[in-house]
Amino acid sequence: MNLKEKTRALFAEIFGYPATHTIQAPGRVNLIGEHTDYNDGFVLPCAIDYQTVISCAPRDDRTVRVIAADYDNQVDEFSLDAPIVTHDSQQWSNYVRGVVKHLQQRNNAFGGVDMVISGNVPQGAGLSSSASLEVAVGTVFQQLYHLPLDGAQIALNGQEAENQFVGCNCGIMDQLISALGKKDHALLIDCRTLGAKAVSMPKGVAVVIINSNFKRTLVGSEYNTRREQCETGARFFQQPALRDVSLEAFNAVASELDPVVAKTCSPCIERKCAHR
């Protein structure tokens, strides 16, 4: 049974009626540009054939009901007419709640939804399972209620939810490739303008993903610290982001920076220069 069949069957079993839509959003790998998206740089990710799948249907009230099939069918339920706050014990719920809360700030012309979520993007493996979930949830509401949001806006909404509601200061790359990924193509993204260009992958080339078995989490990890260090470096040069700092300017005064900040900033600036 594939993910679509699984979520649709569980939807009918739990909610007692059939889902009207099934939405999917892929995970990703990044080919070029680690830690450059939040420095307004350039990245080249591609979508992968692992995804989050949501079977769903609109409701005639203002309630959102969510079943997490991969967490023993845990349930979350909240009202669109009450303040949306973080869940005390279910971290997965906060990605859903955050996306919905930030959608309300963009366009509140939507009602309740029933949904069943499942996915096969490995969690903690750096393949963007959280971004895949955020984009899938955003697309659910966009599709069910015909919201005037394009893929880039759905991606931005997911990033805002992760930054401001979940608490991880991620860049835009993960959500954008999940929303705009194209089969047999990578996506060259300018993370400042959000301009994106599909780049065809050479025929006969395969992207091999190797599991290091080192679990990675963004919330509560060194990720936020590294971003803060990059922002400190940009402020030192009186620039909005490290994208605007030349390698020559950095090397000229690197010794004046905090050594840890300099060590973090240096490869980001080098990558940025190499990608031009």
Catalytic residues, by residue number, are: 174
Strands 113-119 and 63-68: parallel
Strands 21-32 and 196-200: unpaired
**Which of 243, 223, 222 is closest to 233 using CA atoms?**
243
Which residues, other chains included, contact 150 with Cβ-Cβ below 8 Å and sequence gap of 6+?
none
Which DSSP category does 109 fall into? -
For the CA atoms of 88, 92, 93, 97, the dihedral, rounded to the nearest 10 degrees, stands at 120
**DSSP code string of 211-271:** -------STTSHHHHHHHHHHHHHHHTT-SSGGGS-HHHHHHHGGGS-HHHHHHHHHHHHH
Which residues, other chains included, contact 179 with Cβ-Cβ below 8 Å and sequence gap of 6+?
25, 135, 139, 151, 152, 154, 155, 158
* CA neighbours closer than 13 Å in the CB half-sphere of residue 199: 13
- Which amino acid makes up residue 126? G
Strand partners, 42: 190
Which residues, other chains included, contact 215 with Cβ-Cβ below 8 Å and sequence gap of 6+?
124, 125
Integer Cα distance of 123 and 120 in angstroms: 9
